[in-house]
């Protein structure tokens, strides 16, 4: 197949047109107009973020001239994914969570869902000198303190129990106030206002966004609990039920 180079303007156009994904993310190198005639797959709800800002519409779909973008474009047996090409041109990292069909360029971003699947929050991550900085905003919570942690597994089918225990690669005890702690996934309580909203910025100490590191939080999950974390009791600070969460893309 004849390859074609793309200008920055063309790349930006592809970015605006939409993000096309498949679970094995590969490089794109095709004429988009030619490939459009051999589209396969069905339209999929995909969450897309650039540097922590969401770029999808209310339905989680991308629209190109009135047509919902499919999950992939296949031409002569090759799957083309323009979003990977865009990330390379911008010299940004690309993160993909297959479970929730969420892709992030630059900074990993996580939609936070309640048990009914309503998207009520957003968290973004950034590598800093002493760990990973998390910025979170959420609504629909009861006023007061809520435990907030990184858990060891991704959430499956909105079953927050599938997230497993706190992310604890160093085999410590729980709690930021525990002299024998703490888990890498331990964070301060979220302080929810009377209107049920919260905006916070915290640092996950000793964590990283580097792939394949034992302390990497990529591919794990965020969980918000119903109650306050006492910051010292194993295994989770008596913080109660898991009421909201989301998967950190890989």
Using only C-alpha atoms, what is the Rg of the chain?
20
Task: Count other Cβ atoms within 10 Å, centred on residue 33.
Answer: 7
Nearest alpha carbon to residue 250 among 9, 25, 55, 10: 25
pLDDT for res 25: 35
pTM of the model as a whole:
0.69
Which of 152-170 are b and which e, b meaning 16 or more Cβ less than 10 Å from the residue's Cβ?
bebbeeeebeebeebbbbe
pLDDT for res 4: 41
CB hemisphere CA count around 127 (13 angstroms): 10
Helix (H) or strand (E) segment spanning residue 80: strand 78-80
Strand spans (E) along the chain: 39-43, 47-50, 53-54, 63-64, 67-68, 70-75, 78-80, 94-97, 102-105, 109-114, 119-128, 131-138, 144-146, 148-151, 190-192, 198-205, 221-225, 242-247
pLDDT digits (tens, 9 = 90+) for 22-55: 333 333 333 333 333 333 333 446 677 777 777 6
Report the SS3 class of residue 216: strand
Report the SS3 class of residue 146: strand
pLDDT for res 41: 37
CA pair distance 139, 38, nearest whole angstrom: 42
pLDDT for res 104: 76
pLDDT for res 107: 82
CA pair distance 30, 3, nearest whole angstrom: 6
CA pair distance 130, 202, nearest whole angstrom: 11
pLDDT for res 181: 76
CB 103 within 8 A of CB 95: yes
Could you state, in chain order, the average pLDDT of each consecutive group of 10 residues for the chain (250 residues)? 42 42 34 35 58 64 50 59 62 70 78 91 91 95 96 93 94 87 91 97 92 92 96 91 93
Query: Which tokens is 20 given?
Result: 């096309």
CA pair distance 165, 157, nearest whole angstrom: 17
CA pair distance 112, 133, nearest whole angstrom: 17
Tell me which residue has tokens 């709690």: 175
pLDDT for res 95: 75
CA pair distance 151, 162, nearest whole angstrom: 10
Tell me which residue has tokens 């030619």: 34
pLDDT for res 83: 63
């Amino acid at each position: 197949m004849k390859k074609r180079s793309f200008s920055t303007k063309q790349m930006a156009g592809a970015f605006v047109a939409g993000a096309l994904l498949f679970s094995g993310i590969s490089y794109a190198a095709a004429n988009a107009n030619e490939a459009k005639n051999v589209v396969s797959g069905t339209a999929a709800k995909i969450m897309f973020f650039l540097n922590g800002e969401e770029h999808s519409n209310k339905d989680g779909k991308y629209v190109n001239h009135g047509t919902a973008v499919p999950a992939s474009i296949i031409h002569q047996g090759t799957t083309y994914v323009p979003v990977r090409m865009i990330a390379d041109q911008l010299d940004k990292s690309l993160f993909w969570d297959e479970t929730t069909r969420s892709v992030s360029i630059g900074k990993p971003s996580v939609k936070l869902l309640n048990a009914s699947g309503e998207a009520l929050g957003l968290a973004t991550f950034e590598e800093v000198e002493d760990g990973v900085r998390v910025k979170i905003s959420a609504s629909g919570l009861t006023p007061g303190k809520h435990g907030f942690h990184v858990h060891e597994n991704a959430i499956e089918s909105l079953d927050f129990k599938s997230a497993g225990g706190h992310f604890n690669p160093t085999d410590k005890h729980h709690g930021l106030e525990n002299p024998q702690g703490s888990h890498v996934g331990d964070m301060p309580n979220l302080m929810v206002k009377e209107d049920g909203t919260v905006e916070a910025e915290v640092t996950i100490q000793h964590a990283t966004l580097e792939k394949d590191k034992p302390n990497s939080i990529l591919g794990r999950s965020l969980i918000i609990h119903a109650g306050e974390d006492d910051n010292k009791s194993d295994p989770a600070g008596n913080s109660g039920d898991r009421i909201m969460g989301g998967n950190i893309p890989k």
